[in-house]
Amino acid sequence: MKNDTLPLVCRENKLLLQVRLANTKVAFLVDSGANVSVLPHDVVKEAGLLGRLEPFKACLSNPVAEYSPTIHGVLREPLHCSHGVVLQPMLVVMSPAIPILGLETLTFYRGVLTCCRAKPSLQLRQLHPPTPLPFLNRATYVSCTIMGQEMSALLDTGSTCCFMSWRQAKELRLKIRQVKSVGASTITGTLPITGCTSEAHITFLGMSVTTSFHINDVEEKVVIGLNVLLDIKMCLHFDAKALDNDGSTDH
């Protein structure tokens, strides 16, 4: 398989890949912040594929959103896309969940993700040899500069906006507008938001942009969300060979 390009749908700051699983239509969120590809248990049931589930033991959780799903197994069924392209990812079936096309699948197909609001797309360059397990400990981190300070940030196309911790914002001397305790809805629950920074200048992967960051006090992590990637029309290259032992990438 070489140079197959799949059209995506950009809706509410989300990139979606529309596929057919058996006789069921499914819209997958393209999420570089998720290390595995996910399918909800009720979708598997609707597609009549419960009998095709394989055992899978893993503990997946998100401490930020206090999310700990039930793992029902894995599914290895073809996803029929446009242009006659067929994907065969390993899908972790869990509940509660939404359909997610994660980093394991993006790197498996050496995907090139074009982030834009008009005509987003996912190009599949080639297949790697099958891997026995998904990259459970992988993530797409990049080196970046925020207000002149070098940092590491997670590129997360599954996040609609950018995040950092209160401590990180203070270290960068960003003005913080405190907000009442609210929660941002995420694929893994509710992320507590306590504030929003003034605009900050950020440079990464040769691109520069000015944006604000939402504040959470649960995890010390800088997240570059899809809103910024869409604004600068970022093209992300995913390749298992480019991911080092720390899960970082320079693509």
Q: Are 135 and 107 in contact (CB under 8 A)?
A: yes
Go through the domains of the chain in sequence order and give each one's CATH number. Answer: 8-111+237-242 (2.40.70.10), 118-232 (2.40.70.10)
221 pLDDT band, cuts 50/70/90, is: confident
Bridge partners of 193? 182
Question: For residue range 76-98, what is the model confidence (pLDDT) as tens digits?
Answer: 999 999 989 999 999 999 998 99
Among residues 178, 144, 122, 174, the alpha carbon closest in space to that of 4 is found at: 122
Q: How far apart are CA 89 and CA 78, in angstroms?
A: 7
**Which pTM value belongs to this model?**
0.87
> DSSP letter at 132?
S
CB 167 within 8 A of CB 78: no
Q: Which two tokens stand for residue 142?
A: 């990049």
Strands 24-30 and 100-101: parallel
pLDDT tens digits, 9-68: 999 989 999 999 999 999 999 999 888 899 999 999 999 999 999 998 765 655 444 567
Helix (H, G, I), strand (E, B) or coil at 112: strand
